[in-house]
């Protein structure tokens, strides 16, 4: 089953310094029918103005992944980490028993664009931790490149959940295939371009799909496309 959610179905926010769209109910307005997809809790598509950001605030028992699409994000936390992350890197923070962190646009001139993703961990009370992992954008071309995994395979970021986050830049007319194991879910987010799923469902930029009970998924790019696929329990 493939459920398509057009970009227009998301809740938009505009605070001046922060413009974004939320795929799941996150704050107000609250929609009890759209709070999660399996272990996935948040998919926020954000643009942060130069020099602005989110001041110090706490989290616990959540796996938080930031995928930078443009610009640079500066991370600071009470574990002693300070780091700037750009396109070609992903950031993973395990809040565990508790962490206080801040995230800012590291540039005074360029907007920061990123996807912020939250996942429930496989168990509560884990030690808090933080890391970034690099990937080669050239390896995204006509392939599904894992960038976040549960075991760190291929020097990916390690997440405390049985899930894998892939990125792909698929050229017009090319197709990517993915085999879904029984009982698992797929969350697909089109960052740029347009794709067709199993020659049945068309997704444009910023559309998403939630997929279950679909053993074979064919993703055809009807134009040059950039998308994220997350394999979830």
Task: Answer yes or no: are the C-beta atoms of 211 and 183 closer than 8 Å.
Answer: no
> How high is the pLDDT of residue 30?
86
pLDDT (tens digit, 9 = 90+) per residue, 91-144? 999 999 999 999 999 999 999 999 999 999 999 999 999 999 999 999 999 999
Query: Rounded to 5 degrees, what angle do the CA atoms 27, 28, 30 make?
Result: 85
What residues contact residue 30 under an 8 Å CB cut-off, 6+ apart?
Answer: none
Q: Look at the pTM and tell me if it is higher than 0.85.
A: yes
> How high is the pLDDT of residue 39?
98
Average pLDDT over residues 23-28: 86
| Domain spans of the chain, in order of start | 2-134
Report the top-level CATH class of 2-134. Answer: mainly beta
Map residue 155 onto helix, strand or coil: helix
Map residue 181 onto helix, strand or coil: coil
């Amino acid at each position: 089953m493939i459920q398509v959610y057009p970009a227009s179905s998301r809740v938009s926010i505009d605070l001046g310094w922060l413009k974004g769209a939320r795929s799941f109910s996150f704050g107000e307005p609250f929609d009890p029918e759209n709070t999660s997809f399996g272990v996935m809790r948040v998919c926020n598509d954000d643009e942060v103005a130069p020099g602005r950001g989110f001041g110090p605030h706490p989290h616990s028992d959540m796996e938080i992944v930031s995928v930078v699409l443009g610009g640079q994000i500066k991370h600071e936390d009470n574990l002693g980490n300070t780091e700037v992350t750009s396109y070609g890197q992903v950031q993973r923070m395990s809040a565990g028993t508790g962490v206080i962190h801040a995230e800012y646009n590291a540039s005074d001139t360029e907007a920061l664009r990123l996807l912020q993703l939250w996942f429930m961990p496989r168990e509560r009370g884990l030690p808090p931790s933080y890391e970034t992992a690099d990937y080669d954008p050239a390896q995204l071309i006509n392939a599904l490149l894992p960038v976040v995994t549960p075991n760190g395979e291929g020097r990916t970021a390690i997440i405390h959940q049985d899930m894998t986050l892939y990125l792909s830049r698929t050229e017009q007319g090319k197709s990517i295939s993915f085999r879904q194991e029984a009982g698992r879910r797929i969350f697909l987010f089109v960052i740029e371009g347009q794709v067709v799923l199993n020659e049945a469902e068309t997704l444009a930029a910023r559309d998403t799909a939630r997929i279950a009970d679909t053993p074979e998924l064919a993703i055809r790019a009807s134009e040059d496309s950039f998308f994220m696929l997350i394999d979830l329990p």
